[in-house]
Structure 1
Amino acid sequence: MKGFVGFVMIIIGSFFATSCGFTSTTENTNFATKAESAEKETATENYEVETITENVNKEESRENIIKEEIHEIKEDKAKKLEVLLYYGAGYLNVSNGAKGWAEGTFKYEDVEVKPDVSYDLIMDKGTITVKQPDKASILEDFNDFSGSQNNRWDIHLTDKIPMDLIINAGATYTELDLRGLQLNILNINSAIGELTIDLSGDWEKSFDVTLKKAMGSTKIYLPSDVGVKINSNKGFQSTNFKRLFSNTDDFYVNNTYENADVIVNINTILTTGDIEFIVK
């Protein structure tokens, strides 16, 4: 078992070493450069912590107190958003439905994994950043990650303005119900765990999806009324395409693709595990 744990940690370590710089291709996400080159307006009045509560864990074998924080980022003059999520280990749920730009409920036991939530407004672009400290130390406990309710993020995003959504996840059980959001770019780096992405429904604009994953299973739900084009590397994973057919040796498409004005372009890079594409 120790040998397996060591093997997995090597994979995860190398994964984050190569993916830590993975950001939007259309926007410069170097915040230090931005701060120096552009006039920065920090919209602190649009970010607030609504509640912080503590509940005693009922499990007798655990003595830690589960802490809960609720964060809200209100609407301002932003015309587009960049959402950056850096999550080490636990349960991550992202969906539509925020009243403002974003709302989140965060549960955690250890203060060392307390999330840092920030919002910056530069010109007409708002940047939401949520991150845990030091993924490497968190991932030492990766065996306990799956479906953990003691370390959980539930985040709702707005559907009112376009956004780039960039997610870097370590050892997580991740559910992304992104139906109805105005996505420009969806970039996901996932080290290990189960991942479900719902991209079904109607989309008004084309957008690009890039998924890079080291280990675990992935399920992606796709729309039937807009075009879908998938480039999935062969790797060491098992790939299943439901209601999709091969356009060339490298690409899979849905029945709507040839005559579609709106296209969801998906590129996946998986080291090992299995991935399933399902047209709803």
Structure 2
Amino acid sequence: MLRLKTDLNFMQTAGKFVQEIGYDKVKGKGVFYMRKLIVAVIVVGILGAIGIWGYNWFFSGKQVSDILIEKDDVKSLNANIQIGFANVSITDGKDAWVKGTVDTNKKKLRPTVSYKKKGTVGSAVIKQKGKLFTGLGNIRNDWDLELTNEIPVNLNIEMGVSDSTLNLSGIQLSKLSIEAGLSDATIDLSGDWKDSFNADIDLGLGDATILLPANTGVKLIVSKGIAGLDAKGFTSEGKGIYVNDSYGNSDVVIEMKIDVGIGDLKIKLVD
């Protein structure tokens, strides 16, 4: 069950943090990152305040939705997943283009699912109905999805407040985009990749661990605000660019742009 753990004390903690490291150092990160800090403090403060007040917008009850997009004759898939507030698990599968369940106790958080075919490309959109601020109180909203491992997938994931485990190593990614507001995320991109692809990871506030293959060429372009970076096995080329030992010696390359506002980012190479 997902419970909001933040409260108004976060605002005091953030304020003390800025005071301790010095305003000039924070300012030195640039106006862009100051804006991210301010927005993050405001968002978390509002969420905490509403949680304390105990607003509960919906009636409780068990609501399990099955998600199924069956296979057809398309050669590639665009998958767009939009989630406001949830625990999220995504992995690969072979039974359908998309298959899974959403288990929630709020009727208005049940997802909508649409699928269109144009030529040899299928486009799937899976979207949570409720708004972000409807996900407060004693909420259960668990997403468990499988995406096909049989055709190339252009995957876009948008998450507001989430705890996510994204095991994408078995999916034939042609492109990856992940945007998360307030989130703790584990993103597994390890494994044996047959084709190169680009990835954009935008994380506002929270901790993230990204697993990448040691035997595939990897190039990271990292922009970070007030965030810690642990990237063992990578060599810095300056200006936020990091490469592993296989980069330049591998026919397959993963090029990843990572933007982190506040939190700890760990990049791990997996043999």
What TM-score does the superposition give when structure 1 sets the normalisation length? 0.75
Q: Which 5+ residue runs of structure 1 have no aligned equivalent?
A: 13-62
Residue 109 (structure 1) aligned with residue 99 (structure 2) = no
Structure 2 vs 1, CA of residues 9 and 128 (structure 1 numbering), >3 Å: closer, same or farther? farther
Offset, 1:7: 6.1
Residue 119 (structure 1) aligned with residue 115 (structure 2) = yes
Q: Deviations over 1:228-247 (max 9, x none)?
A: 00011131111110221213
Residue 179 (structure 1) aligned with residue 169 (structure 2) = yes
Structure 2 vs 1, CA of residues 273 and 220 (structure 1 numbering), >3 Å: closer, same or farther? same
Any idea what SS the aligned residue of 1:78 has? coil
Name the one with the larger strand percent: 2
2:78 pairs with one of 76, 82, 87: 82
Q: Deviations over 1:259-280 (max 9, x none)?
A: 1111000101111111100001
Residue 100 (structure 1) aligned with residue 90 (structure 2) = no
User: C-alpha distance in 2, partners of 1:181/1:276?
Assistant: 22
Q: Which amino acid counterpart does residue 214 of structure 1 have in structure 2?
A: G
Alignment of 1:254-269 (within 5 A): 254-269=244-259
Offset, 1:170: 0.6
User: C-alpha distance in 2, partners of 1:106/1:136?
Assistant: 16
Any idea what SS the aligned residue of 1:247 has? strand
Q: Which stretch of structure 1 is more off in the superposition, 1-10 or 268-277?
A: 1-10
Q: Percent identity?
A: 29
Is the 2:65–2:102 Cα contact (8 Å) retained in structure 1?
yes
CA RMSD between the two structures: 2.2
Any idea what SS the aligned residue of 2:224 has? coil
Q: Deviations over 1:66-106 (max 9, x none)?
A: 22122221111111100000001110111011312110111
**Alignment-derived partner of residue 161 in structure 1:** 151
Q: Which amino acid counterpart does residue 171 of structure 1 have in structure 2?
A: V
Offset, 1:134: 4.4
Residue 232 (structure 1) aligned with residue 232 (structure 2) = no
Is the 2:205–2:261 Cα contact (8 Å) retained in structure 1?
yes
User: C-alpha distance in 1, partners of 2:43/2:87?
Assistant: 21
**Alignment-derived partner of residue 204 in structure 2:** 214
Alignment of 1:1-280 (within 5 A): 1-2=7-8, 4=10, 8=40, 10-11=42-43, 64-138=60-134, 141=136, 150-280=140-270
User: C-alpha distance in 2, partners of 1:263/1:7?
Assistant: 34
Q: Deviations over 1:8-53 (max 9, x none)?
A: 47448xxxxxxxxxxxxxxxxxxxxxxxxxxxxxxxxxxxxxxxxx
Q: Deviations over 1:212-240 (max 9, x none)?
A: 11100000000011100001113111111
**Structure 1: which 4+ aligned runs deviate by more than 3 Å?**
1-12
Any idea what SS the aligned residue of 2:258 has? strand
User: C-alpha distance in 2, partners of 1:247/1:67?
Assistant: 50
User: C-alpha distance in 2, partners of 1:264/1:204?
Assistant: 11
Any idea what SS the aligned residue of 1:112 has? helix
**Alignment-derived partner of residue 22 in structure 2:** none
Q: Which 5+ residue runs of structure 2 have no aligned equivalent?
A: 1-6, 12-37, 45-58
What TM-score does the superposition give when structure 2 sets the normalisation length? 0.77
**Alignment-derived partner of residue 60 in structure 1:** none
Q: Which amino acid counterpart does residue 197 of structure 1 have in structure 2?
A: I
User: C-alpha distance in 2, partners of 1:82/1:191?
Assistant: 22
Is the 1:229–1:265 Cα contact (8 Å) retained in structure 2?
yes
Any idea what SS the aligned residue of 2:205 has? coil
User: C-alpha distance in 2, partners of 1:69/1:218?
Assistant: 28
Structure 2 vs 1, CA of residues 8 and 252 (structure 1 numbering), >3 Å: closer, same or farther? closer
Is the 1:11–1:214 Cα contact (8 Å) retained in structure 2?
no
